[in-house]
Amino acid sequence: MSEVLLDIKNLKTSFRIKDDYYAAVDNVSLIVKKNEVLAIVGESGSGKSAFAFSIMGLHTRAKIEGEINYKGNNLVQASPNQMKKLRGNEMGMIFQDALSALNPLMVVGAQIDEAIFLHNPKSSKSLRKKQVINLLNQVGIPRPEKTYDQYPHELSGGMRQRIVIAMAISNQPELLIADEPTTALDVTIQSQILDLIKELKETIHAGIILITHDLGVVAEMADRVAVMYAGQIVEIADVYTLMENPQHPYTRSLLNSIPTLNDVKEDLHVIEGVVPSLQNLPRTGCRFASRIPWIKDSVHEASPELHEISSGHYVRCTCYKDFYFPEQAEEECNYVAN
Amino acid sequence: MSLIKVENLKVHFPVRGGVFQTVKDHVRAVDGVSFSIEQGQTYGLVGESGSGKTTTGRAIIGLNDITSGKVMFEGKDLSSVSKKEYIDVRKDIQMIFQDPFSSLNPKKRVADIVAEPLRNYENLSPKEERIRIQELMELVGLSPEAIYKYPHEFSGGQRQRIGIARAIALNPKLIIADEPVSALDVSVQAQVLNFMREIQKELNLTYLFISHDLGIIRHMCDHIGIMYKGRYVEEGTSEEIFTNPQHIYTKRLIAAIPDSNPRNREMHYENRKLVKSEYDKLEKDFFDEKGLPFSLKSISATHQVALPERG
């Protein structure tokens, strides 16, 4: 059993809308171990990015409750100064959009240099330059000396994302949060970046939180997966269990709605309705109930909890036991009729 | 006869510079693309960003000027027909755009958005128009009362369906769908894709489906063309491209798709490395001095590959 790096308990991040607080992240508890990739999956609006920002302390106006225990310190209570020391040093973040994450007026080498300098003000300039070149090498940039003096706009999307990764790992972070690191990239570049993150994991032994909506990326990268819906974790399990034996209706619907390369030309599963907005979210009962209206109300719990159904596999609400797809029901009816 | 036939299409954009803004060079966005689509089929155009797939679609519908080459629609050459004839043809070709958030005018009501093509082409009385719009709304699965709402009142998937309603308002024959689902969440994606297939059957539509997502392309398309730097590297049926890719670029593209089975992870990773090393080794053979793919050679009746000149 490897060491626990991050232990989050009942994290609740609320935003103020018209004099009222609404929780975008609602009672999320999970742990991240050293040297593992935890993927967080969900649609837009499920609170996955709000969750990542809470860990990094990047929310300015949100109300954050609960505990984020990082190596024995509760980050929720940490002062802005303490957070500043952690961010970019022990905790690195890779953002989705590399172009807006980089300063357009600074050469990329200087930006990475800055990240190192801020946390080691005593290091010498020449040493830092060497470090930056090493980092650029590490993230697979072909001519690091030349790239050092280039501006972000001179680089391609994949290269920019590599720079952002180099910045994130510049101080050997122990926790790396990647928020949709490949969503803006082409498939070939995506596979390169994912392979790079995988290789980096082997060398820096960091715990990685990978936020994505792409289940293919999850299958390629993750050790464990947490599925988020409307601010809550609805299912959490190791990647094999989750992909092969998903239980929660939302997880099953998601897996059914992506076209795979093997079964072609069949209709995809459609999840009815939309993710409710923060203000319209039902605060009691199963939050997914409105999207599976063919399931009887009686099978949902009044206040759904996460249940451990096998070792390390948690599912929220009891509705998973009675869940079926409407298509399935039709087939069964036909079968009986024949 | 195929519904649309594109022959050696070229779209070049001038690069201007210097004191007098003279033309210094050209960006060859589309550089000799040929394909044809049969009625009722879906043709997929795949490529990375910058490969020219969107420009090809826009050139067909007339949003970008064609530098040279022909676009034959039902036997008529679109680049040489008179303006009047062109307006007629243009009715039969419609487009679905990528971003449902910027392709609908936020100041107009849905009724006016969907009615725009009708007002351009058909002389309907206000009452007839309303009935037609309500029919269309029902066809795309939105409630007919919703026509007096504004685009911001709808979700992404619903907006994309409004875009589709506008595209099918004039009963077109060909629809050019430029990344119709890449701005949408997976569950909504499924909804729009299913729906596009449904109306295809119902209205006997032909699609030119532009996407970078090979999973979706495989799901939707009968024929596929793969573009790289404005040219084709491979063309064939969906089956041929996915089970028997011949060009190193196609192989690499397919190897890059994430595998949805986590147990194949290691194997997939090794395979990707293998394909990458093969690509690096053969890159010089498969592309000319400028790094462009060669012209296509047939290897079967439907399968064409840009193989090197010397076999």
Residue A73: its pLDDT value, please? 87
B27 burial type by CB count under 10 A (0-12 exposed, 13-18 middle, 19+ buried):
middle
> Mutating which of B260, B263, B274, B276 best tests the A interface, going by the most A Cβ atoms within 10 A?
B260
Contacts of B245 in chain A (CB under 8 A): none
Phi and psi at B104, nearest 5°, equal: -115, 130
Q: Does B149 touch chain A (CB under 8 A)?
A: no
Give A52-76 pLDDT, tens digit per residue: 999 998 888 889 999 999 988 899 9
Separation in Å, CA of A43 to nearest CA in chain B: 6
Contacts of B185 in chain A (CB under 8 A): 43-44, 213, 275
Would you state the pLDDT for residue A335?
61
| B224–chain A Cβ distance below 8 A for any pair | no
* Cα separation, B168 vs A189, whole angstroms: 35
CA–CA min distance A57, chain B (Å): 27
DSSP, res B292? -
Nearest neighbour of A240 by CB, restricted to B197, B253, B262: B262
CA dist A44 and A276 (Å) reads 11
Token pair of B296 as six digits: 């296509």
Decide: B10 and B69 in contact? Cβ < 8 Å: yes
Q: How confident is the model at residue B107 (pLDDT cuts 50, 70, 90)?
A: very high
CA atoms of B273 and A3, how far apart (whole Å): 31
In A150-231, DSSP assigns E strands to: 175-179, 207-212, 224-229
The β-bridge relationship of strands B76-77 and B68-73 is antiparallel
Q: Burial, B42: exposed, middle or buried (Cβ in 10 Å; 0-12, 13-18, 19+)?
A: buried
pLDDT of residue A202: 85
State the Cα–Cα distance between residues B311 and B309, nearest whole angstrom. Answer: 6
Burial class (CB in 10 A: 0-12, 13-18, 19+), A125: exposed
Residue of B nearest to A275 (CA): B155
Mean pLDDT of A93-97: 87
Q: Determine the pLDDT at residue A334.
A: 64
Dist. CA B304–CA B223, nearest whole Å: 12
Cα separation, B34 vs B296, whole angstroms: 10
Indicate yes or no: CB of A274 within 8 angstroms of CB of B256: no
Q: What is the largest CA-CA distance in chain B?
A: 66
pLDDT of A309 higher than 70: yes
Is A270 in the B-facing interface, judged by CB distances under 8 Å?
yes
**What is d(CA A300, CA A306) in angstroms, rounded to the nearest whole number?**
13
Parallel, antiparallel, or unpaired: how do β-strands A232-238 and B4-17 relate?
unpaired
Asked casually if ipTM beats, i.e. exceeds, 0.85, the reply is no
Integer Cα distance of A291 and A295 in angstroms: 9
Q: Give the model confidence (pLDDT) of B219-270 as tens digits.
A: 999 999 999 999 999 999 999 999 999 999 999 999 988 888 888 888 988 9
Interface with chain B: mutation pick from A274, A275, A292, highest number of B CBs within 10 Å: A274
Q: How far apart are CA B82 and CA B12, in angstroms?
A: 23
Name the 3-class secondary structure at A93.
strand
Evaluate whether B208 touches B177 at the Cβ level (below 8 Å).
yes
The answer to whether the Cα torsion of A50, A53, A57, A60 is positive or negative is: negative
Q: pLDDT tens across B57-71, in order?
A: 999 988 888 999 999
- Which helix (H) or strand (E) segment holds residue B267: the answer is helix B265-286
Percent of chain B clearing pLDDT 70 (strictly above): 99
Kind of pairing between the strands at B223-228 and B42-46: parallel
d(CA B122, CA B129): 9
Mean residue pLDDT of chain B comes to 89
pLDDT tens-digit map of A233-279: 999 999 999 999 999 999 999 888 888 766 655 778 888 777 777 77
- Is A198 in Cβ contact with B257 (below 8 Å)? no
Q: How far is A84 from chain B (nearest CA, A)?
A: 34
The arrangement of strands across the sheet holding A20-33 comes to A20-33, A4-17, A63-70, A73-74
Q: A191 CA to chain B: closest CA distance, Å?
A: 5
Quick one: B205 exposed, middle or buried, by C-beta within 10 A (0-12, 13-18, 19+)? buried
Chain A and chain B share a number of CB contacts under 8 A equal to 109
Token pair of A226 as six digits: 């947490």
* DSSP codes of every residue in A136-161: HHHTT-S-HHHHHT--GGGS-HHHHH
Does B27 have pLDDT greater than 80?
yes
Are the C-beta atoms of residues A208 and A176 closer than 8 Å to each other? yes
CA A16 – CA A59 distance, rounded (Å): 12
Closest CA to B198 of A22, A109, A270, A29: A270
* Residue A172 dihedral angles phi and psi, to the nearest 5°: 45, 70
d(CA B132, nearest CA chain A) in Å:
26
Cβ-based neighbour number of residue A178 at 10 Å:
26
The identity of residue B223, as a single letter, is: H
Q: Sign of torsion, CA A154 A157 A159 A163? A: positive
Assess B279–A contact: CB distance below 8 Å, yes or no: no
Which pLDDT tens digit goes with each residue over B114-165? Answer: 999 999 998 889 999 999 999 888 888 888 888 899 998 888 888 888 999 9
Short-list B53, B59, B70, CA closest to B93 = B59
Instruction: Give the predicted TM-score (pTM) of the model.
Output: 0.85
A259 close to B (CB below 8 A): yes
Q: What percent of chain B has pLDDT over 90?
A: 43
CB distance B214 to B46 below 8 Å: yes
How far apart CA A179 and CA A99 sit, in angstroms, is 14
Which parts of A239-285 are beta strand (E)?
Answer: none
> Measured between CB atoms, does A280 come within 8 Å of chain B?
no
- Does an H or E element contain A243, and which? helix A239-244
Amino acid sitting at position B206: T
Interchain contact B98–A (C-beta under 8 A): no
Cβ neighbours around B88 below 10 Å, total: 12
Distance CA B74, CA B151 (A): 35
Q: Give CA–CA dist B57/B54, Å, rounded.
A: 5
Residue A50 has pLDDT above 80, yes or no: yes
Q: What is the pLDDT of residue A265?
A: 55
Angle between helices B248-255 and B265-286 (to 10 degrees): 160
Q: Which of A28, A81, A92, A31 is nearest to A56 (CA)?
A: A92
Q: Write the DSSP assignment of A218-272 as a string of letters.
A: HHHH-SEEEEEETTEEEEEEEHHHHHHS--SHHHHHHHHHS--SSS-SSPPP---
Distance, in Å, from the CA atom of B148 to the CA atom of B112, rounded to the nearest integer, reads: 9
State which amino acid sits at residue B12: H
Distances (CA, A) of B62 to A266, B66, B83, B91, B260: 34, 8, 12, 12, 39
Query: What pLDDT was estimated at residue B227?
Result: 93
**Chain B hits for A259, Cβ within 8 Å:** 190, 193, 215-216, 218-219
Cα distance between residue A262 and residue A256, in whole Å:
13
A187-204 helix and A157-168 helix, angle to the nearest 10 degrees: 20
